Amino acid sequence: MDDSYNIFICGVGGQGIIKTSVIIGEAAMNEGYNVSMSEIHGMSQRGGIVSTELKIGDYKSSVIESHCANLILGFEPIEIVRSLNKANNDTKLIFNIRPIVPSNINSQTNDYPNIEKLIAILKDNYEYTFPIDANKIAEDVGSIVTLNMVLLGSAIANNDFILSKKSIIESMKSNLRSTFHEMNLNAIEMGYEAVKNIG
């Protein structure tokens, strides 16, 4: 068994998942941790599934074993369900409640599940379930493009998160253009508060 903090990030192409993972990974390295990151790309330009696995600390494998994720960060609600093989009773599930119908689901046949029911099932089965309307928060910040920073902020609000908010913010600034620092900082702070307000 690895002695690492394991983060699984999932969603669809175009949501900024890879950039979010890079920011977390750089923050971890700046704090002196070993970091492994692996990526799975679907048809990312057409809304295909994208996921990353980050292992921070001491690890033997770059793959997060079944039921060994400390945090699952879902940019899209159905993708959080697909990732539950990585979860255990202590895993923090933090996810955006706004769906993007992936390319492998036929929207005309209503195959996409009811979001309210999905959230209720997750809450019934996983103690640490934190659904947030990341789209609305990003729009309130000023741009839907900040969605990934909203979710990054929500991740660091979890009390078990291994990295400091300061390190995450410094890494964000080194990875994004200075023109957008203030807006992205606001997105991180608002995502952070959204999860803190849940509990």
* DSSP symbols for 94-116: EEE------TTS-GGGT-SPPHH
Give me the pLDDT at residue 103, please. Answer: 57
pLDDT in tens, 67-83: 999 999 999 999 999 99
The percent of residues in the chain predicted with pLDDT above 70, rounded, is 90
Half-sphere exposure of 133 (CA within 13 A, CB side): 7
Give the separation between CA 178 and CA 95, rounded to whole angstroms.
27
pLDDT in tens, 13-60: 889 999 999 999 999 999 999 999 998 866 545 567 899 999 999 888
DSSP letter for 83, please.
T
Give the separation between CA 171 and CA 29, rounded to whole angstroms.
10
Q: Residue 15: what are its φ and ψ, rounded to 5°?
A: -95, 0
Query: How many other C-beta atoms are found inside a 10 Å radius of the C-beta of residue 101?
Result: 14
**Could you say which of 3.10.129.10, 3.40.250.10, 3.40.920.10, 3.30.450.190 is the CATH number of the domain covering 4-99+122-197?**
3.40.920.10
pTM of the model: 0.92
Statement: residue 2 has pLDDT above 70:
no
Q: Mutual orientation of helices 147-156 and 134-141 as an angle, nearest 10°?
A: 110
- Model confidence band, residue 193 (pLDDT cutoffs 50, 70, 90): very high
Helix ranges restricted to H, 31-175: 77-82, 115-125, 134-141, 147-156, 165-175
Mean pLDDT of 151-158: 96
Mean pLDDT of 84-110: 82
